[in-house]
């Protein structure tokens, strides 16, 4: 039994207030492309700029809006921005993370916290979790194969279970490059 492995490039999640600040009063996040997770989408709005102590990066915005702003980076991105101490975290766990300045077409916003390296994870429905014999929050190892000569086993991969999810593993761009995970990439729980 295996599942698709997708690369999650740097992006931000915004609150309603942040959307209004960055894009203007009355602005809303509009879907450009639906993502594999139900209800999640890449926004049609133009990208926003992240401004760190040493550099800047343009990033995509993902919707829908959330309760807190969250900036998901790779370690390479964090170094390019000059951010120190960016932790590996599960989505939504922003407490105590570094902040950053975001610049949009209508304004800018400095967030006090929210920058993280997303912990690699496998999204599953409860039925998927039962079929794989795993549970929410369980840490597993996943063998990732793309046929590109770099089969890799990623340890410390968290299982995330919800009836709102679709079966897929998410890794960041650094992990993708290390495993040559381009094209049709499949994952298999091995431990």
| For residue 20, pLDDT beyond 90 | yes
DSSP string, 58-72: EEEEEES--SS-EEE
Q: How many domains does the chain have?
A: 2
pLDDT attached to residue 6:
97
- With a pLDDT cut of 70, the percent of the chain lying above it is 100
Q: Which of 68, 84, 118 is the last residue of a domain?
A: 118
pLDDT attached to residue 45:
79
Phi and psi based region of residue 17 (left: phi greater than 0; alpha: psi -120 to 50; beta: remaining) = alpha
- With a pLDDT cut of 90, the percent of the chain lying above it is 97
pLDDT attached to residue 28:
94
The pLDDT mean for the chain works out to 96
Q: Which of 118, 137, 159 is the last residue of a domain?
A: 118
Domain that holds residue 75: 9-118
pLDDT digits (tens, 9 = 90+) for 129-163: 999 999 999 999 999 998 888 999 999 999 999 99
pLDDT digits (tens, 9 = 90+) for 31-81: 999 999 999 999 997 899 999 999 999 999 999 999 999 999 999 999 999
Phi and psi based region of residue 145 (left: phi greater than 0; alpha: psi -120 to 50; beta: remaining) = beta
Compute the average pLDDT of residues 87-101: 96
pLDDT attached to residue 36:
95
pLDDT attached to residue 148:
87
- Model pTM score: 0.93
Q: Which of 76, 95, 118 is the last residue of a domain?
A: 118
Residue 129 within any structural domain of the chain: yes
């Amino acid at each position: 039994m295996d599942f698709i492995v997708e690369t999650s490039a740097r992006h931000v999640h915004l609150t309603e207030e942040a959307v209004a600040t960055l894009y203007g009063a009355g602005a809303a996040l509009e879907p450009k492309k639906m993502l594999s997770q139900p209800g999640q989408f890449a926004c049609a709005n133009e990208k926003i700029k992240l401004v760190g102590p040493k550099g800047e990066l343009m990033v995509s915005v993902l919707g829908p809006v959330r309760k807190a702003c969250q900036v998901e980076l790779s370690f390479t991105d964090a170094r390019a921005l000059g951010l120190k101490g960016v932790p590996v975290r599960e989505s939504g766990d922003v407490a105590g993370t570094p902040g950053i300045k975001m610049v949009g077409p209508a304004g800018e916003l400095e967030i006090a916290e929210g920058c993280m390296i997303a912990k690699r994870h496998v999204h599953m429905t409860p039925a998927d979790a039962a079929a794989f014999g795993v549970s929410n929050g369980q840490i597993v190892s996943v063998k990732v194969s793309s046929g590109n000569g770099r089969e890799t086993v990623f340890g410390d991969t968290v299982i995330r279970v919800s009836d709102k999810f679709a079966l897929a593993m998410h890794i960041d761009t650094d992990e993708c490059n290390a495993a040559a995970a381009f094209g049709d990439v499949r994952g298999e729980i091995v431990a």
